Structure 1
């Protein structure tokens, strides 16, 4: 018996598999999100605090921050600041290969209806929810009321 039919069948199967592999679409680009530089200045008010952080997207697709929640507050809102005017926002875009920055004097988070007043040295846990990516849990350290990340004071 000749081995030729078996060799031809194997070659045909391999060629078919390679053809199918060549027709498959590449995996769609997706966001790759991470959080850095998070902090909350110790609140001066018993019922409200600000929060700051940077969300970096190293992925090839944009995403959108759609909500923030924390057990430390009854409500967490997101605000933009343009020309000194603060406005509550329902979401913030995070561009592909870009960043979303929440900083003092700019975009920021507001922790409203605080359940307790966080003190310097404690941490506040929050959950970031996105339009496309899974949620991220962040442990935000509470710093002094006058803390500024560029100086560390």
Structure 2
């Protein structure tokens, strides 16, 4: 009687097959997850979604724009706001030198983007509480 020392390999094949399937599934999920993250991150830098709007203080007094980091503008001074064209409409509050609200500048891009992307502080209107506040 001859005894073979060579294992048949059969008990290990299903385990190897299962490990290969798990690695493929994990790779697929990783790729899908990275695609979703890249899509979400791309939305914040996509040139089609964000519009640069120049805001000029045309008043004779300094104003403060209620943005992420408050923008103080002396008379005649300009600043550029990065406004999302996907979140229509949105408004930024404008405060006078004594802290009183002068009104809001409202941004709305329902149709095509305007050629002139600028607005004057003198264009403030009454603030509508239903409109999303800029920048978020």
For Structure 1 versus Structure 2, the TM-score category normalised by the shorter chain is 0.3 to 0.5
- Structure with greater strand share of residues: 1
Higher CA-based Rg: 2
TM-score, normalised via structure 1 length? 0.35
TM-score, normalization: structure 2? 0.38
Larger RCO, structure (CA 8 Å, separation 6 or more) = 1
